[in-house]
Amino acid sequence: WIFGMKMKILSFGIVILLLTNHILSFQPNRSKGSITHRDITRNGALQITYRIFQQIPNFEGKVLTPNSIPESKLTAERLFELYYGEMVSASKFSKAIDEIANANAFVDFKYVFSALRHFDSETLLEGKRKILELLTSVVQNIQQENFQSARKNAGRLLHTLQVGWRVTTYD
């Protein structure tokens, strides 16, 4: 009985180690310049907002000039400071970006073995369908003014889109 119990514990331990190594293999190596899904999402949201602030005048008729913020200094706070002055806080905007980025990153934990969310095993069509399904959900959430669900679904959509872009570009 004791031997059987030790074997079960050992087997369980081996499974945990194998899963841990598998899961850890998805972690980027920041020392070699890798970036995470969170980084990609946050940077993308800031870049798009920066471009919009260059094209659409604020309440004073002012737009941001290209290169007014170096890429290394691009933050929500800096964008809002230059565009709105001290009248508007970037905190809610920054929290919304974080919510989208966190939902994006969470896909690797909740759906770690979902082939269609990661375009594994030649699931290109299924991945495309998932992206379109999530896009529909985002639009419906916005129309229903359920903005929190829209942000979460946008994060999930961006995760699959980022992986799909990587697969079709590099593989």
Full DSSP string of 25-74: TTS--GGGT---HHHHHHHHHHHHHHHHHHHS--TTS--PPTTSS-GGG-
Question: Tell me: the pLDDT tens digits for 108-135?
Answer: 777 666 665 666 666 677 777 878 888 8
Q: Rounded to an integer, what is the distance from CA 4 to the centroid of its chain?
A: 44
Q: What is the pTM of this model?
A: 0.70
CA distance to 3, 67, 85, 87, 156, per residue, from 47 (Å): 60, 12, 19, 22, 19
Paired tokens of 102: 């966190």
The yes-or-no verdict on residue 86 having pLDDT over 70 is yes
